């Protein structure tokens, strides 16, 4: 009899515990990380160290922003930047990407290397430049481009993407920021060139 009473009491306690405990609290879903937009010079600083891990003599020949669905590039900032480096000793070139977004088609967040390729020093379109020439950032390049037609274009079409490309110009013998108002260099409605060392306006590309 005592054994039966003990079993009955245990069942009652189990039933009471089940009724008194509320429903399990669902685990909170992690919130998506906000995209990060930075200037070209800030991105380059992140990529320069990675390139020197590949080749100690690596020097840049191009820095460019890449379009993403969540960033129009206005203000001189972008969610994805690519810097291309070359090693004179290895005769090879290698790009590195920095990404601050999870947008479709964008590289993974952080720094990631690209595919290594051959490099020819005599190619004028991939001329290496020293980091000391890069004194003007992409946000200043945007400000200057706005003063030479960009402001009117964006007032008329606020959703126009703005892209940036930095390279050495052999004809002018200067490091140049090219600011493109449009989805690509080829389809740009306006192309403005700025000296990346002095910040001076150099002209509008035809």
Is pLDDT at 107 greater than 60 in this prediction?
yes
Cα(196)–Cα(173) distance, rounded to whole angstroms? 12
Residue 27 pLDDT grade (very low, low, confident, very high; cuts 50, 70, 90): low
How many other CB atoms sit within 10 Å of the CB of residue 53?
10
Residue 36 has what DSSP assignment? -
Residue 14 pLDDT grade (very low, low, confident, very high; cuts 50, 70, 90): very low
The per-residue pLDDT for range 47-84, each reduced to its tens digit, is 999 999 999 999 999 999 999 999 999 999 999 999 99
Is pLDDT at 130 greater than 60 in this prediction?
yes
How many other CB atoms sit within 10 Å of the CB of residue 134?
18
The per-residue pLDDT for range 131-142, each reduced to its tens digit, is 999 999 999 999
Phi and psi at 5, nearest 5°, equal -65, -35
Q: Say what the pLDDT of residue 167 is.
A: 98
Q: Say what the pLDDT of residue 121 is.
A: 86
Query: Token pair of 90, please?
Result: 């290895």
pTM for the whole structure: 0.84
Residue 33 pLDDT grade (very low, low, confident, very high; cuts 50, 70, 90): confident
Residue pair 180/138 in contact by the 8 Å Cβ criterion? no
Q: Residue 25: which residues within 8 A CB-CB, separation 6 or more?
A: none
Give one word for 105, left, alpha or beta, with left for phi > 0 and alpha for psi -120 to 50.
left
Is pLDDT at 108 greater than 70 in this prediction?
yes
Q: Say what the pLDDT of residue 1 is.
A: 47
């Amino acid at each position: 009899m005592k054994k039966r009473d003990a079993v009955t009491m245990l069942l009652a306690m189990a039933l009471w515990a089940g009724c008194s405990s509320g429903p399990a609290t669902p685990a909170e879903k992690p919130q998506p990380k906000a995209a990060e937009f930075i200037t070209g010079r800030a991105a380059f600083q992140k990529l320069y160290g990675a390139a020197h891990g590949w080749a100690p003599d690596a020097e840049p020949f191009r820095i460019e922003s890449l379009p993403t669905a969540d960033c129009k590039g206005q203000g001189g900032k972008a969610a994805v930047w690519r810097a291309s480096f070359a090693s004179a000793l290895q005769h090879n070139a290698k790009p590195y990407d920095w990404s601050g977004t999870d947008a479709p088609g964008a590289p993974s967040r952080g720094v990631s290397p690209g595919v290594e390729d051959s490099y020819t020093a005599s190619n004028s379109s991939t001329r290496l430049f020293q980091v000391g020439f890069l004194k003007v950032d992409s946000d200043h390049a945007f400000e200057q481009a706005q003063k030479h037609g960009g402001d009117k274009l964006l007032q008329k079409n606020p959703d126009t993407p703005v892209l940036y490309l930095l390279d050495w110009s052999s004809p002018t013998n200067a490091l140049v920021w090219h600011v493109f108002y449009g989805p690509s260099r080829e389809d740009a409605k306006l192309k403005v060139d700025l000296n990346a060392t002095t910040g001076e306006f150099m002209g509008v590309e035809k």
